Structure 1
């Protein structure tokens, strides 16, 4: 993991994050100063950021919002104080309300982003300065240490580039916590088509089949917020297994880049999972990321033990084979 330390100093009223990366300083600088790249990691898993403004000049402003899987929105903004490319920039960092004003009852912090070369690549030192001990303790209570660590630890994939990072690796499963798993798969095709493959029944029936010998007999989708879906699979004659299905509701829909749905096994009293699908395109390839939230560790382990990753890989390979031009 690139983050090597996150420390707080109550006497100096600071919080300092240090991360080391196998990339040159100039590349690290671009990741923090180009909104399309910032959006890929500025926000912990499940809270991706969308930047609505970004003026990298002294006196300029940046604004962004992060949206949870349940549709909750947290807004923030920077006022750039100093910019010294590619070594340093400094901002006033604030929580914002829906009107773009500083959110009442929250602190404004001065934050330095420092970039320096190392023998292995580059180092980020991120220092947040607080006006009071109460402000520092409030931000720590918000989960800043854990959240910033999870966010910056996503940066390696951005610095490498999609194809170098993920091509040829197939479907990958990462256990992030007792209740969170991240699934990733690179599809060598455009995001628009991959989005349609997840939201249009006639396309979904061609690829979301799992192992050979199964067919999708029910595929009903309303991809709008509050809409519901119903899927059912049935084995072909001579194939072992019983028909099963899933149903759920769409909680977030941001075409063509993000959809969050609940997932419940039809006809059971199993608790639902929360599936957060995001799509990112770079150089004609699309990275599929599915962040799954389980109700508990036992449910997580039970689902993973079914061979879910292998089944998803079979389906994603079929998506490439059936829907993408040769």
Structure 2
């Protein structure tokens, strides 16, 4: 398996982390000064998603996807390999976001699984560790804040 991942131990209960993870995506989904708008998020396996990322210089990146899994309170997974009405697309990755109770807090893990070692290497070169790490830090700050 060709996987990259980030994890954080968040000092908040799993229910709170899940709430922030799924209901406040626009606040943590991409590294600032970028911002994200969730235009669609069908909260069920087989649903569709559309997240639009806006850059500080007017950049707009639309990310349509397919919900591969939605296990309420535990994890969700999305891929860009399927869009629209089950239309195959050029796959880059399968993203998996998970929360699990650990001690008095929550273990958050985000994984990016790739079809080939080349696509994983490309994602790594794009700055996966830094970018997804910043997003994890932003999520953690939201969860541990007020």
Give yes or no for TM over 0.5: yes
Q: Which residue of 1 aligns with 2:101?
A: 117
Q: Which residue of 1 aligns with 2:51?
A: 64
Q: Which residue of 1 aligns with 2:20?
A: 31
What is the CA deviation profile of residues 100-125 of structure 1, one whole-angstrom value per residue up to 9, with x for unaligned ones? x988xx64312222211011310112
CA, structure 1 residues 102+41, in 2 after alignment: closer, same or farther (shift >3 Å)? Answer: farther
Structure 2 CA distance for aligned equivalents of residues 76 and 145 of structure 1? 20
Among residues 130, 134, 137, which one is paired with 1:150 in the alignment?
A: 134
- 1:27-176 → structure 2 map (5 Å cutoff): 27-34=16-23, 37-93=24-80, 107-161=91-145, 164=146
Higher relative contact order (CA 8 A, sep 6+): 2
> For the aligned residues, what is the CA RMSD?
2.2
Residue segments in structure 1 that go unaligned for 5+ positions in a row: 1-11, 165-326
What is the CA deviation profile of residues 283-322 of structure 1, one whole-angstrom value per residue up to 9, with x for unaligned ones? xxxxxxxxxxxxxxxxxxxxxxxxxxxxxxxxxxxxxxxx
- 1:262-277 → structure 2 map (5 Å cutoff): none
4+ residue stretches of structure 1 with deviation over 6 A? none
Q: How many residues align?
A: 142
CA, structure 1 residues 142+48, in 2 after alignment: closer, same or farther (shift >3 Å)? Answer: same
Structure 2 CA distance for aligned equivalents of residues 76 and 25 of structure 1? 27
Preserved contact between residue 79 and residue 91 of structure 2 (Cα < 8 Å): no
Structure 2 CA distance for aligned equivalents of residues 26 and 61 of structure 1? 24
